[in-house]
Amino acid sequence: MLPLPLFGGCACGAVRYRLDAEPEETGYCHCRICQRSSAAPAVPWAVIPLAGLQYLSGELGLWRSSADGERRFCTKCGTPMEFRVRDGETVGLNSVTLDQPELVKPECHIWCSSQLPWFDTADDLPRRQEG
């Protein structure tokens, strides 16, 4: 159990949020869109019910990264904040934006079909080729 609420935000501090719900799933995403949009080999995320995430300050930009997906980011510094399936009931929050990211431990790896061959993590977590 997490010590809710948790708080987080972007690199420049303009965007701040409050998390009031336990993650439904957590992990690392290795898809090419996450790699390119974050400029990183993988993105740690936590699936949160929309009702459990409240933005307190700042402005989010929106980029439609696929036919069904949207990514939101701080309009001031560009920090990638989340991924949403349009009309979905959850949000894939970039868990390293939490003030205490160590509290939300990854449980799996997804989109390993796109994992970069020179990058790996030292864990025995389940790995899925797709999402």
Joined tokens for residue 105 = 């431990």
pLDDT of residue 131: 78
Q: 48-71 in b/e burial notation, b at 16+ Cβ within 10 A?
A: beeebbeeeebebeeeebeeeebb
Q: 13-23 in b/e burial notation, b at 16+ Cβ within 10 A?
A: ebbbbebebeb
Query: Is 129 among the domain residues?
Result: no
Joined tokens for residue 44 = 């740690």
Query: Is 87 among the domain residues?
Result: yes
Output the CA–CA distances (angstroms, integers) from residue 15 to 8, 19, 53, 87, in the order listed: 8, 13, 13, 23
pLDDT < 70 stretches in the chain? none
* Domain that residue 90 falls in: 6-114
How many helical (H) and strand (E) elements, i.e. helices and strands, does the chain have?
A: 1, 10
Rounded mean pLDDT of the chain?
A: 95
**The CATH number of the domain where 15 resides is what?**
2.170.150.70
How do strand 69-74 and strand 80-85 relate by DSSP bridges? antiparallel
Query: Is 86 among the domain residues?
Result: yes
The total number of structural domains in the chain stands at 1
Q: Determine what percent of the chain is predicted with pLDDT higher than 70.
A: 100
- State yes or no: cis peptide before 5, omega within 30 of 0: yes
